[in-house]
Amino acid sequence: MIEYIVIFLILTTGCESNVFSVTFDPKSIISTTSKQFVGVTLDTGLLRVRWDKLDFRSPKVLTLAKGLSPYSKTYLRLGGTAADFCTFTLSNNTSRNTKKLHPGRLSKDDLLFHLKRNKHKNLTEFFMTGITWDEIHEFVQKAKLDLIFDLNVLKRTKDQKWNSTNAIELLKYTQGRGYTMAGWELGNEPNSFHHLNSSLNVTAESLGGDFFQLSKILNHFPEIKGCILTGPSTTQLNKKPTIKYFSDFMATEGGREVTSPNFHQYYVNGRIATVDDFTNSEVLDSLQDELRTGNRIIEATGRKRKLWLGETSSAYGGGADGLSDAYVAAFMWLDKLGISAKNNVDVVLRQSFYGGKYALLDATTVDPNPDYWLTVLYKRLVGNKVLNVISSPLSGDVRFYAHCSAEGFPQGSVTVYGMNLLSKGVNVTFPQFEGQLKIYLLSAPNQNLKSRFVNLNGITLEMTSDTSLPELTPRSGPNLLFLPPFSYVFIVADNKIYSKSCLDT
């Protein structure tokens, strides 16, 4: 089912003031996402640098990771370009079993050991040891994360088929250690391998065969199999050759084994993006067409599969410095979640938890960026059933989404979230809501859209302890709300049953 993004807003013109009226249809659920709708990624490239400053043993990192899972576990996808250059190895691990490696504190030996790259490109093979795999699993278990691992599809035989030998070694090791997995992925952006090296080319048909092979192999490892097989992990569906690649792959034998068809999506180029791009409603709308295309292709296969955004963020190329890591990144992130949920996307994997300017955590201090807090609020407040927002007329700059509230609220509660992309404040009313509502209004400190911080109801959010997140406290307010310029808001109406469709049956 393809849902058009239609947010109707009633514009009532009073003497001086405009009031946007937001209403929703309480009777029907227009789509249901996974309970693990919002996931995160780490780039396999981090293995080359021993996770950089992300110390898995740091209490702060653990607190921040756990903060993402108030109810259900959070997917962690470990993948990316480097996945197709990564070899699992069991050698050289005995001497290291006793030595605790401290990420961020890299000895020359560690570097030589983990790193085999040439001077000009990082596109050379490197190793992931059993110990590193142990570290990852120790972390995901403690942090309530659910691991999806991207296997190396560039291990190929002479006749251009996937050589699964190394993947089987990893599976055997994983089984031997008793680890569980959420799922697997094979390759990263295979439609654009030739951009990495002009002699690389894995066709959609060939990739289909590789996925078929992988799905058969996974059946031999029922204990660790995980239920997810995701692919083809193409670049975004806005160019004909990419759409054709995605579509051709989905039609193959292997494509039919995929449980979660996915593509990657970024709005803009990080090197040239401006603050205006980040608040431009047309830029936000561009995702709509790509989701529609993906859904159409999946529907054509006749299989009941739901689309994933397998790797997605604001700006490609590592993010836009000073924007992807700033307050203003919220509009792309929140709107992406809204549009995706409404368009039947099952899971959205945010690039990244750590690493790059688009990360939820700062590259150097590992403190939360503004989008971290947005993500935590979304997970705490927004449930996985989507309601249809119906009001009018259409306005691209004031946009709202409605869901049943998250599990922590009484059944029948509704959470509405949205944003004001205008440089002037607007009044918004929610005529279906009564009494006092829980309001989480997010705004930029000193109206600085490039701030590295975000205010919740006027108070700047910061980590004050390594072992717990600060309180994220709503204020009470009526159903008429002033939304300042460039602000966004979550409103929880939990004081009566607002939607019978939100009652669990």
Residue with tokens 């979550």: 490
CA angle 121, 92, 86 (to 5 degrees): 30
Q: Would you count residue 192 as binding ligand NAG (CB under 6 A)?
A: no
Could you give the CA distance from residue 412 to residue 430 in angstroms, rounded to a whole number? 16
Residue nearest to ligand NAG (CB): 17
Of the candidate spans 88-96, 283-291, 327-335, 444-452, the one that interacts with ligand NAG by CB under 6 A turns out to be: 88-96
Question: Residue 219 is encoded by which pair of tokens?
Answer: 């059946």
What's the rounded Cα separation, in Å, for the pair 38 and 71?
12
Identify the three-state secondary structure at position 480: strand
Please, what is the minimum distance in Å from the beta carbon of residue 192 to ligand NAG? 9
Task: Work out whether 90 is an interface residue with ligand NAG (CB under 6 A).
Answer: yes
Tokens of 145: 């994360």
Q: Which of 11, 106, 123, 217 binds ligand NAG (CB under 6 A)?
A: 123
Residues identified as active-site: 189, 311
Rule CB under 6 A: say whether 18 interacts with ligand NAG: yes
Quick note: the x/- pattern for ligand NAG over 476-495, rule CB under 6 A, is: ------x-------------
> 293 and 283 in contact (C-beta within 8 Å)?
no
Using the minimum distance from each CB to ligand NAG, give the nearer residue, 271 or 296.
271
The correct pick among 17, 28, 392, 460 for binding ligand NAG (CB under 6 A) is 17
| Number of other CB atoms surrounding residue 164 within 10 Å | 20
Minimum CB separation of residue 165 from ligand NAG in Å reads 4
Q: Which long-range contacts (CB under 8 A, 24 or more apart) does 114-119 make?
A: 114/47, 114/48, 114/50, 115/48, 115/49, 117/48
Residues in contact with 274: Cβ distance below 8 Å, sequence separation at least 6, in sequence order: 323
Binding ligand NAG by CB under 6 A: which of 69, 166, 238, 457?
166
For tokens 């040239």, the residue is 272
Neighbouring C-beta atoms of residue 238, cutoff 10 Å: 14
State yes or no: residue 203 binds ligand NAG (CB under 6 A): yes
Site for ligand NAG in 145-164 (CB under 6 A): 157, 163
> 71 or 173, CB closer to ligand NAG?
173
Which of 92, 160, 460, 465 binds ligand NAG (CB under 6 A)? It is 92
In the set 13, 15, 100, 165, which binds ligand NAG (CB under 6 A)?
A: 165
Q: How far is the CB of 363 from ligand NAG (least distance, A)?
A: 11
Cα 9 from Cα 390, distance rounded (Å)? 7
Alpha carbons 340 and 348: distance in angstroms, whole number:
8
Could you say which of 27, 35, 105, 121 contacts ligand NAG (CB under 6 A)? 121
Q: Does residue 398 contact residue 21 with C-beta atoms inside 8 Å?
A: no
Q: How far is the CB of 244 from ligand NAG (least distance, A)?
A: 10
Which residues inside 37-66 make contact with ligand NAG, applying CB under 6 A? 45, 48-49
Site for ligand NAG in 404-433 (CB under 6 A): 425-427
Nearer to ligand NAG, 107 or 201 (CB): 201
Q: Does 130 bind ligand NAG (CB under 6 A)?
A: yes
Sequence-distant (6+) residues with CB within 8 A of 369 are 325, 326, 329, 359, 360, 361, 362, 452
- Phi, psi of 348, rounded to the nearest 5 degrees: -120, 120
State the residues that interact with ligand NAG by CB under 6 A: 17-18, 45, 48-49, 89-94, 121-123, 127, 130, 157, 163, 165-166, 194, 197, 199, 201, 203, 425-427, 482
